[in-house]
Amino acid sequence: MFELARIFKKAPLGITIVLVMDIAEIILLSLNPFVIGLCIDGILDQNYFWFHALIFLQVLLIAIRVANKFLDTRIYEQVIESESNSYYENAIRTNANDSQISSRLNLVDEIPNFFEIELVQIIDMFGGITISLVYIFITSGLPLLLVAIIISGLVYISTKKWHREIAGNNIKLQDYDETKEEIILGRDKQHFKCFTKIILNLRIMNSDLDAKAYLMTDILQAGLLIFAMAFTIHIGNYTSGQLFSIITYIIMLNERVCEINEVRVRIYDLMDSISRLERNDK
C-alpha cells in the first residue's frame, strides 16, 4: 500500500482523472444489459425512449473511451520513465549484477500498471458482481440469487489452490529470469539447455494448473447458466427484455467471479516485484 501511495503521488490529478473515466466506462458497460432489455420491451410496445437512451449511452461510452486512451498512456508512461531512471540510479550504486538490474528494470512498470490495469479490473470485477446479483435478486427473487451466490463461491474456493500454485511458479520464473544474462554470457550450451528446460517445465505446470481452473470454472458456470435459463422459463412471468437481461447478467456474473483468483495471482506478482525492487534500495 505504501508503494501504491508513493506512485499515486507522482501524478495524483492525472491518475484520478483516468480512474474516474475507467469507472464511468465500467458503469456504462454494466448497465448495458439492463438498458438493452428495456429497449427490447420498449420497441415491442412501439416505445422508443430506451432505444434513444441506448444510443446516447453508447455515444457517451465512445467519447469516454477515446479520451481515456489519449490520457492514460501519457500519464502512466511518464511515471514509468521516472521510476525506471530512479531505479537504475539506485541499482548501479549497489552490488546488483547486470542480469538482476536488467530483469528488475522490467518490473518497474508493474506498480504503475496496477493502477492502469489491475485496479480497474478489480473495480470492474466487484462492480459487475454486485450489479449482477442486485438485478438477479430484484428480477428473479431469492432462489436464483442463492444459487448464483453458491456457485460463485464454489468457483472461487475450488480454483483457489491452483492459482496459489501459479503465483508460486511465477516467483520461480522471475528468479530464473534474474540469472538469464549470466547464463548467456557463460557461453555454456549445456547449461543454457538445462536453464530453458526448467523454464519450459514451469510454464507447462502453470498452463496445466490454469487448464484445471478453467475446467472447474466452466463446469460450474455452465451449470448456473443452464439452471438460470430453466428457472426463468419455468416461472414464465418475464418479458423478452427481462429474459435477455437476466441471462446476460448471469454470464457477466460468471465472467467476473472467475477473475477473482486471477486477480489474486496478479497481486502476488505485484508484491514479489515490489520486494525485488526494494532489495536494491537498501
The confidence score (pLDDT) of residue 191 equals 83
Judge whether residue 181 has pLDDT over 60. Answer: yes
Q: Which residues are CB-neighbours of 21 under 8 A, at least 6 positions away?
A: 64, 67, 68, 71
pLDDT digits (tens, 9 = 90+) for 103-121: 777 777 777 888 878 888 8
Judge whether residue 282 has pLDDT over 60. Answer: no
pLDDT digits (tens, 9 = 90+) for 45-98: 888 899 999 999 999 999 998 998 888 888 888 888 887 887 777 777 776 666
pLDDT digits (tens, 9 = 90+) for 204-231: 999 999 999 889 888 988 888 888 888 8
The confidence score (pLDDT) of residue 139 equals 86
Domain 2-279, second-level architecture: Up-down Bundle (1.20)
User: 54-63: which pairs have CB atoms within 8 A and are 24 or more residues apart?
Assistant: 57/28, 57/31, 57/32, 60/28, 61/25, 61/28, 61/29
Average per-residue pLDDT in the chain? Answer: 85
Q: How far apart are CA 183 and CA 118, in angstroms?
A: 33
Integer angstrom CA distances of residue 136 from 66, 93, 148, 254: 32, 58, 9, 13
Q: For the chain, where are the alpha helices, taking DSSP H only?
A: 2-8, 12-44, 49-91, 98-105, 110-113, 119-140, 142-177, 180-186, 189-235, 240-257, 259-279
Domain boundaries, the chain: 2-279
Q: How far apart are CA 44 and CA 187, in angstroms?
A: 72
What is the DSSP secondary structure assignment for residue 96, as one 8-state letter? -
